[in-house]
Amino acid sequence: MAPRHYTSVLDLDRDQTLAVLARAAKLKAAWHKKRKASKRLRGYTLAAIFEKPSLRTRTTFEAGMTQLGGHSTYLGPNDIRLGARESVADIAQNLSRWVQIIMARTYAHSTITELAEWSAVPVINGLSDQEHPCQALADFQTLQERLGNLEGKKLAYVGDGNNVAHSLLLMGALLGLHVSVATPEGYEPHMEIIERAQQLAAAQHANIEATWDVQQAVQGADAVYTDVWASMGQEVEAEARRSIFAGYQVTPELMAATGKPETIFMHCLPAHRGEEVAAAVLDGPQSIVFDQAENRLHAQKALILWLLDR
């Protein structure tokens, strides 16, 4: 049988996504109650491939495998040099003989899809330039904790139309949320992502919107989300982006513009206080950013178990 992969949000359908989120909630509750590792994945190893540095991705996958009774082995940028020292196809086929699951955090999305093409074990997208699906799972687990049933709720994303925005659009549409993304002109999410999200949302009677108008995007939002203005690999653009994105900072005033005092603030971290978000918002009572960070651990455990059919 071909292995299950999670290279994109859309590798899981609506029911499968909800099932993974439900299991994540149970795993979290069980861990908080007992703090005891299971034996479910005893003898299983995850190979964690990193082209980019990471705090949350590395720690949560390693801790998650430990809590499930398995093991994670770290393969850093200088360990294997994907596609340079050895082809992606050869690396995938070698790892498939030694480990039971692979996670990769890469620059190019094509690296993820090539790993999945040649791997005989499940491959997880830990981040690529196209999507950040594991972050989206954690985000929607967190939204469920705060908002309950998500159908008909509104999520506003403000900032760069990047990989995080792509995954939020797709998962939000899949789960029936209204998602509004506000970006500067020229920094919109990819049109094919917007169109696919609109198709998915229509089936759930939800709306997907891409706009340049921040005030319009956040109006009526139950959650406001942002990310850094310059991602890893875009450092040379950072200074120019600061002026381009200046009107897209999430401030207390922008949070108030939702018209809902209970609106929550979200960020995938790391955050730059005073750039994409004011410190008063990030560190304020509406912020749930560390709940999101914690839920990376539990959402990924649920995902691993689903991929391995355990």
Query: Which active-site residues does the annotation give?
Result: 105, 132, 135, 227, 268, 296
151 Cβ neighbours under 8 A, 6+ residues apart:
175, 176, 177, 204, 206
The answer to whether 217 touches 180, Cβ cutoff 8 Å, is: yes
Q: Which two tokens stand for residue 140?
A: 């929607």
3-state secondary structure of 307: helix
CA distances from 310 to 23, 122, 133, 144, 231 (A): 12, 13, 20, 24, 35
For residue 277, what are its two tokens?
A: 């978000």
Separation CA 306–CA 4 (nearest Å): 9
Rounded to 5°, angle at Cα 221 from 270 and 143: 55
Give the amino acid at 158: V
Beta bridge partners of 273: 277
Return the sign of the alpha-carbon dihedral for residues 239, 242, 245, 250: positive
